[in-house]
Amino acid sequence: MPYLIRNAAGIFAPQHPDANALRIDGNRIVALGRDLMPGDGDTVIDARGCVVYPGLVNTHHHLAQSILKGVPEGLNQGLGDWLASVPYRFWPQIRPELMYHAARLGLYELLRSGATTCADHHYLYHRDTPDELEDSVWQAADELGIRLVLCRGSAVEKGSHKGLARHNIEPETTEQVLARMERSRARYHQAAPDAMRRLVAAPTSLVHSSPPDFLKEIAAYARGHGLRLHSHLLEVGFDNVQAREKYGLAAIDYAERCGFLGPDVWFAHLVQSDAHAIERLAATGTGIAHCPTSNCRLGSGVAPVIEMARQGVPVSIGVDGSASAESGSMLQELNLTWLIHRAVHGPDATTLDRVLDWGSRGGARLLGLEATGELAVGMAADLALYDIDQPRFAGVHTPLFAPLMCGEPVQVKHSFVDGKPVVEDGSVLGLDERALVENVRDGLRDLLTRVA
């Protein structure tokens, strides 16, 4: 049905800076302007006291980690030891039912913070992983109505990956990876620029558990089927150390040799990128999912996204897993992105509108969802209405940017994905919060009985 959103305190639509109303018909924004009047059949949403943002696009997540927040053993560890103490300790014991509840929890957290698209780097695959484990993630996204880009992780050797080695996890074979990925592609992948479901080929670690022949085969499969490529890279300096020891190359050059640079590729983190790495990223159009909260939490550092952006590297923002970014909030990532680079580079390093663009349009472009990510006539209707009629926002002089500046807690009053409501009057549709809490806690009790 058509919707008219009117009387907004502000709309982030740079081409229409004075707009206070927009109309949705089908899955598209069909009008954007000031004081639009209701038409026949319009459902009117009074946005008085709200600002309207394009739906935020999270380009790197680990939904399975939504049930691994604050694990005591990993609270003060860096990445290598934390991987062994937290995610790789638990994930081989995560069954499809618990994965389903974990995905619903993570997607709930994203929706309530204003996100409408999630790229989940799902890496819970080993030799004996059942198909239902992945299926449960797709199901959770379908039920909540959020766009899902499933970045299909993989590892075919334990190599120098501390998590795999310490917990004696048996990796998949190359044949298993390709066969299972083909099943997912045939069943779920959509190629349209406003797709609700996308599959991405995403080896979990390029350097530590993916030999060159495997990466080349994965890259060829992906490009042969129009899939994008994703992975972790240069989160810590150990990537470069191992790449030089194993392959005689810097990590970025190893990625390039294996076909993992290009405009259809983006990496999470890239914290330890040097001038050479940034030059190769920029020259090839390879992007970054900047995950500042997780990088701070694990003591990895601050990714040089200001220099990357200056040289033309595509920038987007990711939440990362809630085991190292416990808020699970996309808005927090934008807030910290705005702040942390000012602390490092000075007050003109980041602007509010630029950060919001990275968190919406920038992410949509990296994911190949070109019909999403911005509020403009003809674009898919993915948007969030933040309620700023609250005491903590009352003194803000620039109301359009109040949610981004003030950060959490925020209240998303309404949210739409593909023209359909997914949050209504502050409640995430299709989800009983109390039941979600009980299901997660019951699942955790069972999980802890099976994990040493």
* pLDDT 10s digits, 33-47: 999 999 989 999 999
Phi, psi (deg, nearest 5) at residue 413: -80, -45
What is the identity of the amino acid at 302? V
Question: Cα Rg for the chain, rounded, in angstroms?
Answer: 21
Burial of residue 90 (CB within 10 Å: 0-12, 13-18, 19+) is buried
Give me the mean pLDDT over the 230-236 stretch.
Answer: 97
3-state secondary structure of 452: coil
3-state secondary structure of 311: helix
Q: Above 70 in pLDDT, residue 441?
A: yes
Query: At CA 36, angle to CA 34 and CA 42, rounded to 5?
Result: 145
Give me the mean pLDDT over the 198-206 stretch.
Answer: 96
Strands annotated E in 242-378: 265-269, 287-290, 315-317
Higher-confidence residue of 168 and 327: namely 327
**What are 269's strand-pairing partners?**
233
What is the distance between the alpha carbons of residues 428 and 227, in angstroms, rounded to a whole number? 30
The alpha carbon of residue 271 and the mean position of all alpha carbons in its chain are separated, in whole angstroms, by 17
Give me the mean pLDDT over the 146-167 stretch.
Answer: 82
Please give the CATH architecture assigned to the domain spanning 56-366. Answer: Alpha-Beta Barrel (3.20)
Q: Above 90 in pLDDT, residue 161?
A: no
Give me the mean pLDDT over the 3-9 stretch.
Answer: 98
Predicted confidence (pLDDT) per residue in 315-330, tens digit:
999 999 999 999 999 9
pTM: 0.97
| pLDDT recorded at residue 1 | 82
- Report residue 164's pLDDT band, with 50, 70 and 90 as the boundaries: low
* Token couple for 199: 């599959």
What is the distance between the alpha carbons of residues 190 and 102, in angstroms, rounded to a whole number? 24
Q: Above 70 in pLDDT, residue 165?
A: no
CATH numeric code, 3-54+374-426: 2.30.40.10
What is the distance between the alpha carbons of residues 354 and 64, in angstroms, rounded to a whole number? 30
* DSSP one-letter code for 371: T
Predicted confidence (pLDDT) per residue in 46-58, tens digit:
999 999 999 999 9
| pLDDT recorded at residue 163 | 62
Evaluate whether 79 touches 40 at the Cβ level (below 8 Å): no
Cα distances (Å, whole numbers) of residue 229 to 223, 292, 324: 9, 21, 23
| pLDDT recorded at residue 320 | 98
Identify the CA nearest to 302 among candidates 334, 347, 343, 253: 343
User: What element of type H or E holds 73?
Assistant: none
| pLDDT recorded at residue 162 | 60
Evaluate whether 38 touches 24 at the Cβ level (below 8 Å): no
